[in-house]
Structures are given as C-alpha cells and as structure tokens.
Amino acid sequence: MLRPLVGIRRLPFARQHVLLARRLIPRRTLATSAENDTTDVVRNEGLPDDPPKEPFGRKDAWIYLSGVFPIRFGVWDFRYIIARLEKEDIIDQINSLIGDFNKYNFQVLAVEGTQKDGGVFIHFEYDSSLSPSASSTATGTPGTSPPSPPIQGLSDFDRLKEIEVGLRKEVEKKGGLPTWKRYGTAHVWLVRGKPWREDLYRFPSPQLKVEFDGPDVDHESLYDILRPYGRIADMSVPVPVPAGTLRSSTVRFIKTQSATIARNCLHGIAVAPHAHDLGAIHGIPADGKLTRLRLIYEKAIKDHMFRDWISNHPRIVLPVAAFLLATLTYTIFDPVRAWFVEAKVLDWFDYRNYSVVRWLKRNTIERLSFDTTKVTPTPSASSAWRERQDAARDITAFLGEQPSNFALVTGPEGSGKGVMVAHALSSGNRHALTIDCAELCKATSDAALISELAKQTGYWPIFSMLSSINNLLDLASVGLIGQKAGFSTSIDQQMKQVLEVVGKGLEGVSKHHKAQVARREEYAKNEASEKEQEEARSELIRLGAWHDGRIDCVAGNGIMSELGFGDELLRESDYDAAPASSQAIFAASEPVEGEEKKKLDEEKADLGALPVVVMKNWALKGAKKDELWDVLSAWAAALVENKVAQVIFVSDNSSAPKNIAKALPSKPITTITLTDATAESALGFVTEKLKEAGVQDDLSADDCIEVRRLGGRLTDLESFVYKVRNGLTIAEAVEDIISRNVAEVRKNAFGDDAEDASNLPWTTEQAWGIFKRLAEEEEIPYADVLLDYPFKGNETALRELEHDEFINITQLNGRPNTIRAGKPVFYSVFQRLTSDKTFAAMQDIAYNEKAMAAAESAIRSAEQELNTLTNIGVDTGLKGWILGATGVEARASWLLRKIETNEKKLEILDAQNDKLKALLKKGE
C-alpha cells in the first residue's frame, strides 16, 4: 500500500533530484505521514504525476525546532505579524544549515513553520539499513547501491536519536539556528508522536491536558515522558468522567515554551501505562496494552475564573473594593474638588472679572450704545443703614480679629441682616463662601441634600449615582456575608466628607491670597529699587561721575572708545559736591522699622487672607434638620479653631444660639442683634426710594401718617415702594399691605374652621387674648402673659406663636422679658382685627365662655372643699368668729372669698356675652 506524497521542497543549495517514493511505515514507527496538512508548506515544483515507490530501507520521521518564531498568546499578539514577514527567509536559512547533514542518508522532505507554537517542523527521510560507520561515508543519490542488511541490536529509535544529536551538533557548529529576533537560541527535538499542525484558536499556554486513549498512565511514567522538555510545576490525578469521554491529567509546566515542545513532540505517541514496563516510550509492554497520548492546550486561567472567585469570596472582595474606591477618591478626586472650591471662592469662573472682558465691554458695548435714556442707578440701602451703625461697627470689628469664636447676626426677617454682612465683606475686600441653609432644608432626599451642598460650596465632581449603588451593594452584602460591606455611608458622614474637602479648598484660598500679596509686594519692592537706582544714577550723572559707555563708544575715539570715559581717576570731591537734598540717595531714607510693627503688619496680612464663611438662614424656623445643624456647626467650629476661616451665622430664629453653643461651648458668641427701623428712618427710606424712582419728591403729612402704619420692617417698606411705583397711591398701597396681612393672620392664627383651629399648637383664645393686648400696647410683660389666663404657664404656646412670627419675645439678661408684635405692621393688623365688631364679638364670646368655664370649675372645687369642712363641724355660715378662728376655719374663709370673686367674674362675663350676642343679632 502506498502512502500519499506530503510535499517536497526544492532545495536551492543541494543537488537537483526528485524523491519519488516512500515506503510503508511499520506499525510501531514513531514518525508518520502528514495527512490532512493545513499549515503553510513550501513544496518542490515539477513533480511527476505518478511518483515511483520508495526505495527499500528508507523511512521518514520528523524533527521539531523550537524557539524559531514567537509563541502566539492570542489574536492580539502583534509579534505574529512581524515574524510572518521573515518566515521565508528563516526557513531558507534553516535549509542552508542542515543541507550538508547526511547521517543515515538524511534527506529533507519538507520544512513547515508553525508560528502559533513558535517552532518549525522538518520532515525528513533516513536509511534504516545503514550502520553508523556506513552512514558517515555514504554519498551519492539514495538508492543507487543495494542497501546493506540491518545491523543487529540497533533499533530505529537509536538511529533517530543519533540523527537528533548529530543535527544539533551540525547547527551549533554553524552558529546555531536563526530566530525572528536575531538573538536567542533555538533547539532541535525529535518528534516521537504524530505532528498535529492545526490552525484553531487554541493558543499555547503552560498548561497541557493529557488525554489517555487507553489505560491511565501513572504519574511516574507520565513524569518520565514529559520531564525532558522542561520543568514541571504540577500534575493532576485523573478523575471520573462521563461515559465516552477520555480520562486525562493536567500537567502545568513552568514555562510556556516547554509545553509547546512537549505538545508538538509527543502528541499521538503510544506508551506503556506503567513505569515498570520496559520500553515505555518505544516498546511494547508484556501485556501488549498501549496508551495513546493526546495533548491539548488548556487555558491557565479558566473562563469566568475571576468572576467566580469574586462571587465566592464576598467577605474579602467587598471590603477590598470599598477600600480601593475610597483610596481612588481620596488620591484623585479630592484634590480636584478642593481646587474647584478654591475657584468658586475666588471667582475664577466669573468671566466678568477678567480684565480682557472688562476692556472689551468698555470699548465696544459702552461706546457703541445709542441708548440716550438715563439709566436709573441701583437703589441704595443707606437709609436702612442709619439704624445699624453700631451693628456694622461690631461686624467690622469681628472681621478685624483673629478667628476665635462665631459671630451671630440675628433679627427679624427683612431687617437687612444680609445687606449689612455683604456690605461689610465688600468694604473689607474679603473672600467669602455663602451657604444658604434654607435651600439645604428644601432637599427632599439625602442625595438632593448632598448635591445642593456641593453646588453651593463648589464641590465638584460629585457622583450622585454612587450613593444608590453603594446602598444596593450593602444590601446585597447583608444577604451574602451577614453584614454591611461599608460602601454606603450615612447622610451626616457624607456631609462631613464634603465639608472636609471644602475646608481644604478654603486653606488653598488663604495660601493663594498670601502668595498674591507677596507677589504684589515683591513687584512694588522691585519698582522702588529700580526707582532708587535711577535716582542715584541721575545724581551721579549730574556730578559727572558716571558715563554711558555705549554713547562714548559711538562718539569717542581712542582710549575713550574702550573705557567709556577718559582714563582720569574719579575724586571724592566729585561726590561731595552734591547738595544736601541729594545726599539722601546714599543715606537711609527711612528709619528701621521695629519688630513689633513688622509683626502687626504680618498679622494684618494673614487676617486679610482668611476667607469668611457665611451661614444664611441658620436654624430656619420650622426645619427639623438637627443633623444638618450639628454637622455644619461642628465644621464651622473646626474652621475657627484651626484658623482656617472666620464664620458668621445669619438667623431669624431667636433660639439659634442654642445650636451654635454646642459646637464651641467654651467660647462666647459675638451676638449682633438688628431691630426694625424707627419711624423717622422708615420715612427717610421711603422718601429716598420714591425720589430715586421719580414718583414723588416728598411726603405730605397725611402720607407720613399712612407710612407710619407700616412700621420699619424693610421688606414691607420695599413692597410699599414697589406698589407705589406701579401706580397705586400711598394710601392704597398701605391699605393693600395691611389687608393682605390681616387675611394672613386670620387664616394662620385662627384657622378657616373649627377643624383647622383644633390642629393649631395654640388655642384661639390664647391667640386672641395676646393679639387684643398688643392692639392696645406696643409691648407687654412676658411673665404677666404667661401666668395669667388663657396661658396659665403654657410656655409652649407662646413659643409656637413666636415661631410662626406672630409675636416677638425679647430677651433681657438671657431670659424672656417682653412680648412685641412679630412685625411692625402687625400692630395695625391687630387693631384692624379688634375693630372688626363681628369677628371681635365672636372671639370675645368664645374667650369669655372659656373664662367662665374656668371660673365655674374653680367655684365647684371650692364648694366641694367647703362641703368637706362642714361635715367635720365647722360653721361656714357665720363671719364673726374669723378673728379667733383656727386654721381649718381660716381655710373655709379663704374658700368663701374665692367663691365670691369667681362669682362676680361670672356675672361680669355673662353680662358681656349678652351684649355681644345682642350686637351679633343686629348684624353690625
């Protein structure tokens, strides 16, 4: 039976002959034909269509050259493309190296490159009938002389080993095999199995899967077979597999190249399964059972290995991931965020502050504007400042000191607190960061609160989605490991993280300001030095002791053109001739400054570099945000203690100091209280605004009376001016403001109906009783209101009325002293409510009925006690015994007087109710 022709390469360096025949390979031959060849093979040309039979005694085998090309580890390995360009040249060089080798009539049939494994296959023929001595002297064309009989005791395996060793010596003698890198070494290996030149996407790896087609091969035999090709790291034991599947062992080499050599040299080899069987590789065991090995590359890292490991070890992965995420945030994003905070405070992103923009605006828009109308200037708040000179001086003094405590600016809403603070900051050229707590309180979720805080402070970038993702991860970790992994943080911790970065940004503001001041001082110092040098040079020129050499070089000749001036020496008299006024150039013009003054200047410069943090709408009324107040006050205290910034709190809430005192308990708070403007200041403010608007230059006496009804609240005055500017008369504007406030007070203080009134934190009798007294008096004693009916010690109701700004409780020596109206216009509102006869009658009737019920309750209580005293024998009907009465009789006398007092009150209140009811019947 003839074997098919594999392919014959034309050898450009050897004799031109054609190998025409191959003989049938015996059953136990180690090398086989290259059937189903799919690799790139370089073949000879001009072969006849029907080659003759292979000469007697000729056999074929394979040699593998490792390390010629790079091992391709994946599709992405670009070295494969580079090596492919040199493939033809390298194969030609290999043919040149082995062309003269003729041991056992060695003859090359084909040279094939396997670039995926980084090697080259050499298919060759040899004469198995020659002895070693005959093979070394054999020449000529194979088959020209009759073959000699085989040498006894010398097997084909021994001849192939001699060919392998001889071929190694041959290439070493000629300088070694060529490689694609032009350096490094390649090696010659005898192929003992069946070469499998596949082009699958199975890329080499250091791990081989050895399948056993037959009985399992024990570890000793498998080790002996594979160890010559490289160091083995580990071998696995065959495990049970499904029916129809070959059992296998996994062998992991130290190097990938060792695995490629073993796979290409041993794939398809038939071996004995046990080490004690002789001829395990090239013989037949005693029982005749052989095992064929099939070697396949196996990925060292299995698919989804990392994913499976992560999912199977959440106790390790989740904390490590949290740590890496925190580290990434701290090292990369926090410095960027601090820079953005600094940029916001310094207004780096406000294009209107750039000199180029201002110059363009001044030379384009302002010059090309054809609008001839007079631009109305921005209304000034100077009138509102007349009542606040002391408060303004207090704020200026606070900003002029080193930070040691807080400043709290309090006052009713609309009293001009924000205007005053802004004026103080702008006049002192201080950089400020303003945080509006009212906007923070409007946030409906934790993420919205953090976003708003970041927006106001310039904290960017912020990843809001991470908060939700972290919460989900923590929720999943509770199910996996039984506890949170630490991804999500509470809202107070998130605010602390944001504010910590903001604090670093404020430190950068201070450093930037100091550096800027230092640059300006250095520039001024250099200018002064240059000016001084110029003056000194001018004086020397006047004395004739200095010449410009450049002028002399042009105008002079001889030695003057080289020296700049003549070779005569300068005399001291040239300097003494200067007048007394010019001697100051060479003397100290200013006395040496003292260390104390220098130190004061440095402290002043450091203080001017500190930014100011303004907390607007602090402790907002009605906002239940205790965590927000605690975190912000603690952060403000840290800024003050570390001398990072000065902090000013602006609040309408009289209880605001309680929130601040917790942060700095050992430091007193600088409290600056603002009140409403007086009537004269209010009139001046309104007159100024109306004059600026071009509505009215002056107010008449009647107009002044109307304006006085509004009081001195700045917001009400501005609303009044706005209405007058829009066409209302002064009387109409005042009436409109009062009417709106009347409707507001009536709705919010008394409710629309009985159900609304029952949900209020005070009773309608309590609200009506205090409003009725404030309609008659400007202020009333706090203790008198608290202890008398209808409050009877209920301080909570008073505080709730103050919270809703119906009243204002003033302090004296740290205790409540007097009660005033919540806004000045409320005095007119309360008078309007009491002048409404129907409304006042209904409220008085309800008020009297509650008072009558209280009186009746007191009478019944006294009567019950008197009844008890009567039962023990005390005569309660006589009055003459009171002077000599015992203690029990005195008690009975006191009860009788109490009954009498309450009875008179009942009669009076009942009579008042009858009159009020009669008034309601008339419908007035």
**CATH number for the domain including 484?**
3.40.50.300
Residue 180 in this model has a pLDDT that exceeds 70: yes
Evaluate if residue 814 carries a pLDDT over 70: no
Q: Calculate the alpha carbon distances from 854 to 782, 847, 859, 867 in Å.
A: 22, 11, 9, 20
The average pLDDT across 489-496 equals 88
901 and 767 part of one domain: no
* Residue 404, pLDDT above cutoff 80: yes
Task: Say whether 285 sits in a helix, a strand or coil.
Answer: coil
Q: Which residue has the higher pLDDT, 866 or 41?
A: 866
Name residue 143's amino acid: G
pLDDT at 666: 86
- pLDDT tier, 18 (very low <50, low <70, confident <90, very high otherwise): very low
pLDDT one-digit tens code per residue, 649-708: 999 887 788 889 889 888 889 988 887 888 888 888 888 888 888 888 888 999 999 999
Other CB atoms within a 10 A radius of the CB of residue 77 amount to 15
Residue of higher predicted confidence among 471 and 847: 847
Q: Which residues of 576-604 are buried (b: 16+ CB within 10 A; e: fewer)?
A: eebeeebeebeeeeeeeeeeeeeeeeeee
* Residue with the larger pLDDT of the pair 5 and 487: 487
- Checking if the pLDDT of 459 tops 60, the result is yes
Who contacts 859 (Cβ-Cβ below 8 Å, separation ≥6)? 898, 899, 902, 903, 906
- Residue 27 pLDDT more than 70? no
Domain presence at residue 223: yes
Residues 802 and 817 in one domain: yes
Q: Place 34 in a pLDDT band, splitting at 50, 70 and 90.
A: very low
Q: Look at residue 101 and tell me if it is in a domain.
A: yes
Q: Is 768 exposed, middle or buried (0-12, 13-18, 19+ CB in 10 A)?
A: buried
Same-domain pairing of 757 and 870: no
Per 3-state DSSP, the chain is made up of helix, strand and coil in percentages (nearest 5) of 50, 10, 40
pLDDT score, position 273: 82
Tokens describing residue 758:
């029952």
| Shared-domain flag, residues 227 and 279 | yes
pLDDT of residue 890: 84
* Integer Cα distance of 266 and 186 in angstroms: 18
Determine, yes or no, domain membership for 857.
yes
Q: Domain containing 798: what range?
A: 679-834
825-835 and 730-750 helices, crossing angle to 10°: 70
Is residue 318 within 8 Å of 477, Cβ to Cβ?
yes
Does 568 map to a domain? no
Whether the pLDDT of residue 581 is over 50: the answer is no
Domain count for the chain: 4
* CATH code, domain with 184: 3.30.70.330
Looking at the structure, do residues 763 and 808 belong to the same domain, yes or no? Answer: yes
- Residue 834's pLDDT is 92
- Find out whether 498 and 329 touch, Cβ atoms under 8 Å: no
Greater pLDDT, 21 or 124:
124
- How far is the C-alpha of 208 from the C-alpha of 204, rounded, in Å? 9
Lowest mean pLDDT among 269-283, 499-513, 692-706, 811-825: 269-283
733 or 185: which leads in pLDDT: 733
The 10 Å Cβ neighbour count of residue 244 is 5
Whether 818 maps to a domain, the answer reads: yes
Which stretch, 262-271, 281-290, 310-319, has highest mean pLDDT?
262-271
Among 173-177, 761-765, 918-922, which is the least confidently predicted range?
A: 918-922
Lowest mean pLDDT among 335-344, 579-588, 627-636, 775-784: 579-588
- The answer as to whether 873 is a domain residue is yes
**DSSP-assigned states of every residue in 147-193:** PPPPPTT--HHHHHHHHHHHHHHHHHHTT----TTSSS--EEEE--S
pLDDT, tens only, 56-70: 578 999 999 999 999
Q: Residue 114 has what pLDDT?
A: 84
Rounded to an integer, what distance in angstroms lies between the CA atom of residue 454 and that of residue 436? 12
Q: Per residue in 359-400, pLDDT tens?
A: 888 778 777 655 444 444 433 444 445 557 778 888 989 998
- 658 in the same domain as 707: no
Question: pTM (2 decimals)?
Answer: 0.60
Where a domain ends, among 297, 329, 355?
297
How large is the average pLDDT for residues 244-249?
A: 91
Which one of 655, 673, 691 terminates a domain?
Answer: 673
31-45, 231-245, 255-269, 495-509: segment of lowest average pLDDT: 31-45
**Claim to verify: residue 452 and residue 495 sit in the same structural domain:** yes
Same domain, 219 and 91: yes
Mean pLDDT taken over the chain = 79
Task: Examine residue 780 and state whether it is found in any structural domain, yes or no.
Answer: yes
Whether residues 637 and 492 share a domain: the answer is yes
The answer to whether residue 96 is domain-embedded is yes
pLDDT number for residue 22: 32
Cβ proximity of 204 and 73 under 8 Å: yes
Contacts of 436 (CB under 8 A, 6+ apart): 456, 616, 617
What is the model's pLDDT at position 453? 95
Residues 265 and 401 in one domain: no
